Structure 1
Amino acid sequence: MFNPSRDEARMFLIDTWRKRRAGALLSPLEDLTAQLIEKHPEYYSILENPERYQDKDYTPEHGTTNPFLHLMMHLTIEEQISIDQPHGIRMHFQRLVAHHESEHSAQHRMMECLGEMIWQAQRNGTAPDGNVYLNCLEKQ
């Protein structure tokens, strides 16, 4: 199971982008990650300047999106869809793609619900509840 620390996840993104730009051979996971990064040109300079951004904290109070978290949430959703876990997630994704006419836009809607599930688990000191996630997706 891929369960990196914050620093490991950030280095994975930075290294993957460096390898993509250099034309190096990528693993399947790195290739998927590079494809997701390519859909976010607003993050290129962050990934290309790790000495400046690798240790930066992104808090809601600053009103900026955490680019590392955003990309890792895309990866999480990609995996969830590929294995249909939680069960039914693939159906919700397909419905959202049809409604929003873009897989990328559908994933952004899903991120809102994934974030809600994570926030509730942290607030309550419990494990993430897939039902919270799925119920939120039903409202999207």
Structure 2
Amino acid sequence: MKLSKQAVMVAKGMSERGTSVRRLAGQLEVTEGALRYRLKKLEAGRARDGRSDQPTALDGYTAVVEAIQVALEDGRLTGEGRPAQVRQIYEILVRDHGYEGSYQAVVRHLRRKHGKPRLRALRREETPPGVQAQHDGFEVRVPLGGP
């Protein structure tokens, strides 16, 4: 579980009242070391630890990534339509531009630039074992009442 800022603030207040960090970490379902690290960081007054300022494998490819997104008509650029698949962007980078970085670096770059992708609605239908079904959803409008 990721520690939110609110959770760390609550943990700080509870630890100041005498609750042990070990117990708080157990309640928050994180490691004791992770909680101690976040509490120490909070006391120091640093909001960030500087890791996000480190150079990445994509530093020289920013314009290339944007050109690939334009060519694929990526919905993240316009705010309309579907976003291009990150895997497809990564494969084009490797194949056509000699990119040697990781797939995750491309994911992190796109998230930093465009934010997390919106969740798409998905409906899952469970069937009993041995039974298969296929359903294509559609909408029918039926007028009710008279003129």
Q: TM-score, normalised by structure 1?
A: 0.28
Structure ID, larger Rg: 2
* Higher-helix-fraction structure: 1
Higher relative contact order (CA closer than 8 Å, sequence separation 6+): 1
